[in-house]
Amino acid sequence: MQLAETVTFGGSGLDRAAHLRADTAALKEMRADPAARILPIWRGKPLFMNDGQVGWIKPGHPVLTSASEAPVFLGLDDGGPRFASDISAWEPEELPDTLGAFFDPSQQLHPELPNEFAFGELRGVMTLLTARDAELVATAKAILGWHTTHSYCARCGGKSVIVMGGWQRDCATCGGHHFPRTDPVVIMLITRGNKVLIGRSPEWPEGMYSLLAGFVEPGETLEAAVRREVLEEAGIRVGAVEYLASQPWPFPASLMFGCRGEATSDEITVDPEELEDARWITREDMMDVFAGRNNSIKPARKGAIAHFIIWNWMAERLE
């Protein structure tokens, strides 16, 4: 697919400078560089400005006193070092009921920052970011999320520590090395002639539909995962499958493999444990959905690979 890397978080050619991760002296020097910037993330919510731009701050900023571990080195942006720091230990005056929801609309203001800065949901601003900032923020959110859930050794249970600029954790007790986790997920455009198969999960916003998706299991190819997930969730059998595009999806740390497949059956049998509903919809009706002319169906969120694939399917630009 020629447009594959134009998807949100699709990559910007960031220099991740992996050769510097093991160089503790270089990392220390970069953290002191006047051109260095750090992105603080609070409980999965990056810092943004009112205009949707990323809230980069300088090393030594008072906000960073809440960080419990060293910042993660993300790479070099036009020569300037970029880092990310988890400040989840900070306690705001109020915690919203929506914290941890599918989409948390609340914002948190930090007393050490001007009011034009706030911690907010990445889903709400992801389409406003430049390709470079989108890659940096997605990387920061995913890697810090991994550190949050993997602070203890999976081999012996001992406390592990950050090494390699944040791209590895080592256990001092047993010597185990642990590396960031990325979960492979297939998301598929399943068509039958002029129709596409869509479904919705119960926890999604009312009326929202998307392409079917599911995790790839150990020992399974992408093609096999597509056929298995569609059969399990909707009872539809799929024939030929081909890869289209991929998208890093830091909610919390997935890599979405966009595929297309041709259905060999029509009758839908929904698995209620997986889906609330599934249906076929024609290309013309999907155009009405995207145009806001359908009162019962809302499209996948703009910025998600499902939105990207369906849009290009409607425009006949998947080749």
* Domain residue ranges of the chain, discontinuous segments joined by +: 4-149, 151-181, 183-314
Q: Are 134 and 9 in contact (CB under 8 A)?
A: yes
Answer yes or no: is pLDDT of 244 > 90: yes
Answer yes or no: is pLDDT of 53 > 90: yes
Written as six digits, the tokens of 47 are 């810092």
Largest CA distance in the chain: 62
Give pLDDT, residue 102: 82
Answer yes or no: is pLDDT of 260 > 90: yes
Among 4-13, 233-242, 281-290, the range scoring the smallest mean pLDDT is 4-13
Using pLDDT thresholds of 50, 70 and 90, give the confidence band for residue 62: very high
Q: Are 39 and 54 in contact (CB under 8 A)?
A: yes
Rounded Cα–Cα distance for residues 192 and 202 (Å): 25
Written as six digits, the tokens of 68 are 């419990």
Looking at domain 183-314, what is its CATH homologous superfamily?
Nucleoside Triphosphate Pyrophosphohydrolase (3.90.79.10)
Contacts for 82 with CB less than 8 Å, ≥ 6 apart: 36, 37, 38, 39, 56, 73, 74, 75, 76, 136
Global pTM value: 0.94
Give pLDDT, residue 99: 87
pLDDT digits (tens, 9 = 90+) for 171-204: 999 999 999 999 999 999 999 999 999 999 998 9
Give pLDDT, residue 103: 86
Q: Are 145 and 138 in contact (CB under 8 A)?
A: no
Query: What strands, in cross-sheet order, belong to the sheet with 177-178?
Result: 160-163, 168-171, 177-178
Rounded Cα–Cα distance for residues 178 and 37 (Å): 26
Beta-carbon count within 10 A of 205 CB:
10
Give pLDDT, residue 190: 98
| 116-153 residues labelled b (16+ CB within 10 A) or e (exposed) | ebbbbbbbbbbeebebbbbbbbbbbbbbbbbbeeeeeb
pLDDT digits (tens, 9 = 90+) for 17-40: 999 999 999 999 999 999 999 999
Give pLDDT, residue 200: 97
Give pLDDT, residue 3: 86
Give pLDDT, residue 301: 93
Answer yes or no: is pLDDT of 262 > 90: yes
Mean pLDDT rounded to a whole number for the chain: 96
